Amino acid sequence: MAKKKTIFVCQECGNESPKWMGKCPACGRWNTFVEETAITGKNDRHTFQVDKDNRSKPERITSIALKEESRIETAMPEFNRVLGGGIVGGSMVLIGGDPGIGKSTLLLQVSSQLADKNLPVLYISGEESTKQTKLRADRLNVTSDQLYILAETNLEHIVAHIETVQPKFLVVDSIQTVYKEEVTSAPGSVSQVRECTSELMRIAKTKGIPVFIVGHVTKEGSIAGPRLLEHMVDAVLYFEGEQHNTFRIVRSVKNRFGGTHEMGIFEMKESGLEEVLNPSEIFLEERSKGTAGSTVVASMEGTRPVLVEIQALISPTAFGNPRRMATGLDHSRVPLLMAVLEKRAGLLLQNYDAYVKVAGGVKLDEPAIDLGVAVSIASSFRDQVPKATDILIGEVGLTGEIRRVSRIEQRVQEAAKLGFSRAVIPSRNLEGWTVPDNIEVIGVETIKEAMDATLE
């Protein structure tokens, strides 16, 4: 017989403890343990008979036959790019983002596009009624008869409706609202999220139905619940952007059927999300030329180069400790680059406040933008205007050297396409590729050489 016992589970990492603790020893978070009921011993849910004739057997890797995964393409090339070329049958995708960022809007648009292809789509809403979903559908001009809306949170009822409708695409919004009656803990707890995701995963793999689940995020921006949730699914997408900005970014951080760190850019309008097919042009259209502290860098987002503007403002501090603030890039990167400029380029920045921003609301984290950030800081400090047609690419080392970066050819080609006439790159990246005809390439070895070449 199965026995019930009380355990305490950390809602951040899923660590279990027989007693309550104020601080989780696994993840170090405070006040995250919640009391739950666990079933131990023999349980009918986990008992099964093994058929010796049908069980899986080891195979030689050279004898395994491969077939290309069939993909369902939506009417959004940007969304297809993030997923690696389209939606794979039987895959499970987790999408997370801040409240009100547009997750439900995006999935309702995708559901409508698939339903227009005569594919039955079941959209399960655990947070809104069917009338509320209908109001959003009218605003998005969703009128397909193959789109079914269900307001339900009981997993057993959801499975029964899946058997009835037999959809080709399934959306669950959100996984934190779905519960299983056999699990005694509250919806959204670690146990409920784990059990419900496992059941939806079984449906996706056995029936070949692509399943999209929406996940809430914590105040730090990560997916709420146990980290196990991200390990179970096939792909994890993050919806980024500022609510006061019209641009939205869908970024892939895990994808078993495509590349990671791919990025799709959308613009939120009255009629829903619209694609931005040339993000570099959009990010640079409001750039102010002839201003000190402004440079342009080329960052790789997956397989796509994106050109963005870096802005820096250096002003004398009014306090004993100067401020170092950064928006859109790593906060620790700014004081590091300022220390390099002080030591290797002779700029006395210790009594100045520094404010660095990536224009357009984009978040950049690759080291190839270091050179652009350093030159923009030096430009604002010296009040010298960088050349408006220059683009800066390179990683800055602690000794002041400019280190090579990857995919330099794609970055320079994107810059040439947008009308830049000169690219300042690491000297070690000069060989092994063909330079476009309409752009000049200058190789630099130190941060001082880069400043001399770009600041007028």
Scanning 42-116, the segments in alpha helix (DSSP H) are: 77-82, 103-115
Return phi, psi of residue 96, to 5°: -130, 160
**100 is annotated as contributing to ligand binding:** yes
**225 is annotated as contributing to ligand binding:** no
Q: Which residue has the tokens 């100067």?
A: 322
Longest dimension (CA), the chain: 81
N- to C-terminal Cα distance for the chain?
81
Q: Which residue has the tokens 């950390």?
A: 10
**61 is annotated as contributing to ligand binding:** no
Conformational region of residue 328, where left means phi above 0, alpha means psi within -120 to 50, and beta covers everything else: left
d(CA 294, CA 310): 6
Helix (H) or strand (E) holding 250: strand 247-255
**158 is annotated as contributing to ligand binding:** no
Which one-letter amino acid corresponds to residue 205? K
Query: Please, how many CA atoms are within 13 Å of residue 358, restricted to the half-sphere of its CB?
Result: 23
Query: How does 171-182 read in b/e, with b if 16+ C-beta sit within 10 Å?
Result: bbbbbbbbbbee
Q: 435: buried, middle or exposed (CB in 10 Å: 19+, 13-18, 0-12)? A: middle
d(CA 259, CA 91): 15
d(CA 393, CA 427): 11
Q: 333: buried, middle or exposed (CB in 10 Å: 19+, 13-18, 0-12)? A: buried
**269 is annotated as contributing to ligand binding:** no
**310 is annotated as contributing to ligand binding:** no
Q: Which of 122, 336, 325, 98 is nearest to 219 (CA)?
A: 98
- The token duo for 148 is 């079914």
How many CB atoms are located within 10 Å of the residue 135 CB?
Answer: 12
- The token duo for 442 is 């200058």
**125 is annotated as contributing to ligand binding:** no
Helix (H) or strand (E) holding 282: helix 279-284
d(CA 432, CA 125): 53
Output the known binding site: 97-104
Output the known binding site for ATP: 97-104
